[in-house]
Structure 1
Amino acid sequence: MSDSNTTHFTNPSTFILLGIPGLETAYAWISIPFCCTYTISVLGNFTILFIVKRETSLHKPMYYFLCMLAITDLVLSTSTLPKTLSIFWFNSREIDFSACLTQMFFIHCFLAIESGIFVAMALDRYVAICHPLRHSTILTNSVVAKIGLAVLLRSGMLTLPFIYIGSRWPYCTTNIIPHTHCEYIAVVRLACGDIRISSYYGLFAVFFVTGLDVFFISVSYTQILRAVFRLPTKDARLKTFGTCGSHLFAILAFYIPALFSFLTQRFGQNVSLHFRILIGNVYLLVPPMLNPIIYGVKTRQIRDRLLQLFSRKWA
C-alpha cells in the first residue's frame, strides 16, 4: 500500500465535502428548492422576531418560546445551507478541520435545543389550556428564562463530547466526507481505530434527547386533548383541536425526518447514498421553513400584527 494511502491525518487541515455523489449533473436544479426553502425560512423567522419585539402585547411566554424557536431555526439552516450552495454553485468543497467541527457542534447542539423548545412550547400550551387562570403565575418571565437556559445547557453538555471525540480521533486514508455538511457519523467513519464509543454515545444522545422530549410532549398533548374534548361548544373544540393539530404536524415534521436520517446513516447501508444525504438536508431545512408558517401565520395575534404592518405601509 502506498504512503499516500496510509497517511494519518491526526489533525487534518481540511476536509473535502463531496456534496451528493451521483447527482452532480443535477446540482443546479437541486439548488433551487434548497435556496427557496432557506429564503422562506430566513424571511419567516426574522419576521416573527421583528413582530414580537415590536409589539409589547406579544411579550408573553408563548411568544418568547416562539422567538427561541425562530433563532434556533435560523442557526440550524444557516449552519449548513450556505456551504451546501457553495458546493452546488462554485464547486467549493474544502472546509477547514476546525470549521467542520464547529459546524458539527452547531448542527447537533441546535437540533437538541429545538427539541427542548418543542417541549417548552407543549408545556406552555398545556398550562394555557388546562390551567388558564394560573398561566401567568406558573410561567413567569423568570421561569421562561430558566427553561431556556436549561435547554441551552443540556444541549451544549450533550453535544460537546461529539466535538471532543471528533477532534481526538486520528484520521487515515482519506479526508473526503461523502456529504454536503459535516454530519457526525460521516466524519467519525473516516477515523482510524475502534469507533464504537463514538457510535454508542451518538445512539445514547439521540435516544436520550428524543425519547425524553417525545415522552413529555406526548404527555402534554394527551392532557391538552382531554381538555379539548371537555370544552362546552363544538366551535371551541374544533378551533383548539385545529391549533393543536398544526403544532403536532410541525413536531412530527421535525422528529420523523431527523430520526429517519439518523437511523439510515448508521443502519441503512441498503439505502442509496444520495437519498440518505437528501434526507439529511431535509430535516435541517424543512422544519425551519414550516415553523414560522405553522406557529406564526396560523397564530391570530401574529397574523393580525403582520396584516396591520402591511396595511400601514400601503396606506
Structure 2
Amino acid sequence: MTVPDSMRAVEISESGAPEVLVETKRPVPMPGHDQIVIRLAYAGVNRPDVAQRQGTYAPPPGASDLPGLEGAGTVVALGSGVSEWNIGDKVCALLPGGGYAEYVACNARHALPIPEGMTMREAAALPETAYTVWSNVIMRGGLQAGERFLVHGGSSGIGTMAIQLARSIGARVWATAGSDEKCRAISALGAIAINYTTEDFVKVLQEAGGADLILDMVGGDYIAKNLKSLDMDGRLVQIAFLQGPKAEINFAHVMTRRLTITGSTLRPQSDGAKAAIAAQLHEKLWPIIAAGKVRILIDSEYPLASAAEAHRRMESSAHIGKIVLKVAND
C-alpha cells in the first residue's frame, strides 16, 4: 500500500472563531514504537476540538497540534512492537490529536476493529464517545440494572450513547434537552425526556425517587441541582463544564445522604489507561453494538475542507447526535 509524503490537513492558524480552521499540507506522520498510521476515511468532531480551536484546551505533550480525537479508516503503516494489526485492517481509533487530516498516527492499543454492521462513517464517530461513556458510566459510575440514571445533554453524541448503553444493561433513563425536537429524539432512544426550558429536572427526578447516577457535562449551577436530584448513596460523575467549573454546594447533604462526587478527563490519561478502556469496549460494548442495542446517530457530515462549518454546527448546539468530517476523496 503506497503512502504519500504529504497529506491534506486542517490546522488551527490561531486561536479564535471557526474561520481560523484552514486547509494546509502536512507531512504524513511516521509510526513510532507501538503506533500505527491510519489513512482516515472519516473523522469525528467533538467539543474538545472547539475548545482547542478557541485556545482553552491545549494538546498534551507529544500530541499533534491538529484537532481531531477520533476517526476510522485503514491501517497503512506499523511501528515497531505492533503485532495486533496488519496493513489493510479497517479500524476506528481514539486519537491524541491529528484527526483532521488524511493520515494520523496513534497508539495501536487505542484502535479497535469496526464493529459488525457499522459503516466507516458511523465508526469514525464512535471512539471518543464510547471511551468517555463507558469509562464514566460503567467503570467509574458503576451503573447497574434497575438503577435510575440521568444524563444531561441527552441529544449530544455523549448523551445518545449514554442513553442507549444504560438502556441495554437494564437501567431506567432520564435525559435533559432544550427543545421539543431534541426531546422527541431522546424519547425514541427509550429515555424519559425532560425539556429543561419548561421543566425542573430536580423535581422530576425527586418525584421518581432520585437518581442513582448522574452524568453531567454542564456544571455551573447544575452541580448543586444534581446533588438535590440524587437518591441516597447516589453518584455524580462530572465530565465537562459548559457553564463553568465553580459552584456553591452544601457538603452536609453529601455526608448525610452518602453521595459520591467524581469525574474524569480522557485525553490526558496514560496510554495504558486508555488501552484498558479499549479492552473493555472490545469485550463488552462491541457485542452490544453488534446486537443492534447501541447505534451511532449522525447529525451531519461535512468535507474536511469545511471543518469550520462543522464547528459552527457544533457551537449552535442544534445538532442531534454526532458531526463527522469526510476525509477521503474516494
Normalised TM-score (structure 2)? 0.24
Q: Which has the bigger relative contact order, CA under 8 A and spacing at least 6?
A: 1
Normalised TM-score (structure 1)? 0.25
Bigger share in strand = 2
Bigger share in helix = 1
